[in-house]
Structure 1
Amino acid sequence: MLKLRSTFPTNTRVLNIYGDKEDGSHSDGDVPVNSAKSYREVEIKGANAQHSTLHNNSQVNRELINFLWRK
């Protein structure tokens, strides 16, 4: 992305969803929270915040719908 920063559209919207299992790891089990913190942030917490389960999380689904269609 750094190579493209001078030509990347400035009006591009980015939604960055990450999980924190709240088990002291500050991660979703695979990706640390601090590596995901840029752009618009949505933190998902609790048992359904594990990396491999985020795609089945209703909060994630709502955030995606709001981001894509502003509903």
Structure 2
Amino acid sequence: MSSEAIAHRVVADRSACCGYGTCVEICPEIYQLEGGLVVLTMDIVPPELLERAIEGAESCPQSALVVEMVEG
């Protein structure tokens, strides 16, 4: 049995971001706009924000955001 916890993080492709801000509207705790491009406010997504972080990533019309699992 593994004792490693599974966490999630968001990866942003800022070169693909067009600054629509849909991610910010859905989950401003994780996503912000700076200079018209997305910035992430934290490295690891807290479990209570995971659903909204995924929804925010999926809302990006440029597919510039991906939520991925990390072990550690």
TM-score when scaled to structure 1? 0.27
Q: Higher strand fraction: Structure 1 or Structure 2?
A: 2
Structure with larger Rg = 1
Q: Higher helix fraction: Structure 1 or Structure 2?
A: 1
TM-score when scaled to structure 2? 0.26
